[in-house]
Amino acid sequence: MERAAHAPPSEDWIIPQAWADYTPQEHATWDALFARQSAMLQGRAAPAFLNGLDVLKMGHPGVPDFDELSERLRALTGWTVKAVPGLVPDEVFFRHLANRTFVAGRFIRTPQQIDYLQEPDVFHDVFGHVPLLSDPVFADYMQAYGEGGLRAGSLGALKRLARLYWYTVEFGLVRQPEGLRLYGAGIVSSYGESVFALDDRSPNRLGFDLRRVMRTQYRIDDYQQTYFVIDSFEDLLRQTLETDFAPLYAGLEAAPDLAPDAVIASDLVLSRGDQSYAQRKKAAL
Ligand code: HBI
Ligand code: FE
């Protein structure tokens, strides 16, 4: 008999967080990750991110209770946080974003996975993604992204939107007067990549350009080979709201995809990496 596909818990995939079910070890894992990351991100993460940690009282001991977190967040930008079993179908994800609901995994990594895990756990989703949802401009960007996703429809467009999400929401850098700062959730929730993305000589750091990002492939299993730098969240939101995506997608059909480590003539190159990380990693094995 065919194994039943993983049936969704409900139409919107939302499940109870069951906060009371977290074990003392799971709370301790959150506390250890929070203490290490929030300390090392001072002077590294964008001020809006650090401000989000404060106003949402994320330093409170233990895994955040999504209902409490949502009350604070809703008062600031209308966003709420709901629990889901893990990654949900794009269409479901976009619909939640369009409704200002951020869906977060409730599980937390084991102590053995403290440095890296591939699928998003509650530390990646809540520590990584939620603080910036307290920033009104970024909150608008995330909703606009969700609405764009619902309009995307065709697979080709979904691929390009996924790249936009990847190189901004997950792995974006922002230019501040004092220098480059981190804002992507995949970076700020990772100790190693929070160092690598700003300090290492290996990756390229290129000025953000919507068309360029939508042509650029990405890897999901290791540090990024290129980071894109926005001038501000206002600029990112403006580009997203002002772009008519239909002709943009049509124009991109003729443009070949670019490899994750590519640099092309039209790029605004803030720093060109030597891509030495992969070699160093192999040598270290
Ligand atoms: N589901 N829970 C969850 N979290 C995500 O970040 C997520 C997702 N589904 C799809 C997805 N992200 C990406 O494909 C986005 O580009 C849509
Ligand atoms: Fe994420």
Q: How far is the CA of 178 from the centre of ligand 1 (A)?
A: 32
Give the residues surrounding ligand 1 with Cβ less than 6 Å away. Answer: 84, 87-88, 90, 93, 103, 120, 162, 165
CA gap 68, 143 in Å, rounded: 21
| Residue having the nearest C-alpha atom to atom 2 of ligand 1 | 87
Within-domain flag for 3: no
Within-domain flag for 2: no
Within-domain flag for 5: no
CA 229 from centroid of its chain's CA atoms: 14
What does pTM read for this prediction?
0.95
Within-domain flag for 109: yes
> How many domains would you assign to the chain?
1
Residue 228 · residue 172 · CB < 8 Å = yes
Per the structure block, which two tokens stand in for 171? 């792995």
Residue type, position 108, single letter:
I
- CATH code of the domain covering residue 103: 1.10.800.10
Q: What is the pLDDT along the chain (285 residues), one digit of tens a residue?
A: 444 445 667 889 999 999 999 999 999 999 999 999 999 999 999 999 999 999 999 999 999 999 999 999 999 999 999 999 999 999 999 999 999 999 999 999 998 888 878 889 999 999 999 999 999 999 999 999 999 999 987 777 999 999 999 999 999 999 999 999 999 999 999 999 999 999 999 999 999 999 999 999 999 999 999 999 999 999 999 999 998 888 898 899 899 999 999 999 999 999 999 999 999 998 988
Residue 174 · residue 233 · CB < 8 Å = yes
Within-domain flag for 4: no
Cβ-proximal residues to 180 (8 Å cutoff; 6+ apart), any chain = 173, 174, 198, 205, 229, 270
Within-domain flag for 112: yes
Residue 84 lies in domain: 19-284
Within-domain flag for 273: yes
Per the structure block, which two tokens stand in for 167? 């190189």
| Residue having the nearest C-alpha atom to atom 16 of ligand 1 | 162
Within-domain flag for 14: no
